[in-house]
Chain A
Amino acid sequence: MYLVQHLFEQHGKHLGLDLLAGAPGLARRINRAEVHRPGLSLMGYMKGFVSSRILVFGKQEIEYLKELDSPTRDLRLKNILTTMTPAVITARGFRPPKEMVALCEKVHIPLFRANATATNLLSRITFLLLEEFCPSVTLHGTLVEVFGVGVLIQGESSVGKSEAALGLIERGHRLISDDVVRVKKKEGSSLIGSGPELTRHLMEIRGIGIINVAHLYGAVCVRHDKGIDIVVKLEEWDDQHFYDRVGLDEKFIDILGSSVPYHVLPVKPGRDVVLLLETIALNHRLKDMGYNSAKEFNAKWLEAISRRQRKRVLS
């Protein structure tokens, strides 16, 4: 649930919003990531008007309102400023007409003034709202950046996710979040993971307790957010399970409709999980650069065999 209040508190300063009237309406919900210039509807054409959008009054709208006589102005404004309107903003620092102020005060619609132009406000607010409204999910796991690759380590409690992450940090890699990762799917692009504000850069290590990684290892060892490039599931070694031995077939896992490369990494005493995670990350980078060790080797093998066969045919 995203309220006008949240937009005002988080981005009000940055957008240069100045609250003029309708303060009780700050608790209104924003249901759409859309911002609208009322233009046509201000002239009385109400077909297809969506009332749940934030309205921005630019130079043209304000000039037009000025040309109307007071009762008409009031009527037209009443048509578009309803109980559904989340907020109204006047651009370029325009002083809103008094009918608008009175109406916003009466119906409790937050009325803001901003110095930016309407076009500028439109694009900036739409961008902020899209970011807020993009699909998101909270996952159990630890997100670490290893050699620039975002690795989400998952697995049952006490399998050693945090310990593996600590080992990686000690080798100079970066922690984004331990145990809880908020994942957002940005418009058409990748999955971005970050930690919740409250527990950011904190880790819980069994036998030690809660530690602050940013304080212990320095600011260089932490990051605010990072795209999720691969998911590694740590699990207890199971003799019955056949683990991937060649790496020819790649597995994927679905997160918010995007498929992410997925590895299952069995853990048992003597296996250096940190080193293995580093190798997975490096191998991923290599694949990204177009080199797949397993496939390359297989091609080489097939070629060697066919060469031998050819030799036999010739002799």
Chain B
Amino acid sequence: MILVKKIKVKNALGLHTRPAATIVKLLQPLKSSVSFTYKEETINARSIMSILMLAAKKNAQITITIEGVDAELAMRRLIAAFEEEFGEK
């Protein structure tokens, strides 16, 4: 199953090191392959360096693409993390 969704970065500092680590951590137990697309650049969301490379600021629109058996669960958890501003509210 392939899920695609656009999401906005809401926390003030953007996708810096801590949010990147949070994302990688929450994806670790899941099996699906997850990629982020921002400014015509598509990267593997399981890699901290790749997420950092995007340099996504606050309000950046990121396209999340998830493919795999637990795609729905992965998408739900990712959206929740983005919505909670990675605990930086």
Contacts and interface: CB of A to CB of B under 8 A. Distances in A.
Given A138-B41, A138-B42, A210-B17, A180 B48 contact: no
A259 interface: no
Interface of A: 1, 138, 140, 157, 178-180, 196, 198-199, 202-204, 210
Contact of A199 (B41, B42, B44, B49): B49
Given A157-B44, A180-B43, A210-B17, A140 B50 contact: yes
B44 A140 contact: yes
Contacts, number: 35
A204 B48 contact: yes
A210 B44 contact: no
B73 interface: no
22 contacts: A1-B40, A138-B42, A138-B43, A157-B44, A157-B47, A179-B47, A179-B50, A180-B43, A180-B47, A180-B49, A180-B50, A180-B53, A196-B53, A198-B52, A198-B53, A199-B52, A199-B53, A202-B49, A203-B49, A204-B48, A210-B17, A210-B48
Contacts of A203: 49
Contacts of B52: 198-199
Interface size class of B (residues with CB under 8 A): 10 to 19
A174 to B, nearest CB: 17
Q: Which 9 A-B pairs have the closest CB atoms?
A: A179-B49, A157-B46, A196-B53, A140-B44, A179-B47, A204-B48, A199-B53, A180-B50, A199-B49
Contacts of A178: 49
B26 interface: no
Nearest to B17: A210
Contacts of B48: 179, 204, 210
B4 interface: no
A199 B41 CA distance: 15
B69 interface: no
Contact of B43 (A1, A140, A198, A202): A140
B13 interface: no
A85 B49 CA distance: 39
A312 B40 CA distance: 69
B55 interface: yes
Nearest to B49: A179
A140 B47 contact: yes
Nearest to B35: A140
B32 to A, nearest CB: 12
B70 to A, nearest CB: 16
Contact of A198 (B42, B46, B55): B55
B19 to A, nearest CB: 14
Interface in B34-81: 40-44, 46-50, 52-53, 55
Contacts of A1: 40
Nearest to B50: A180
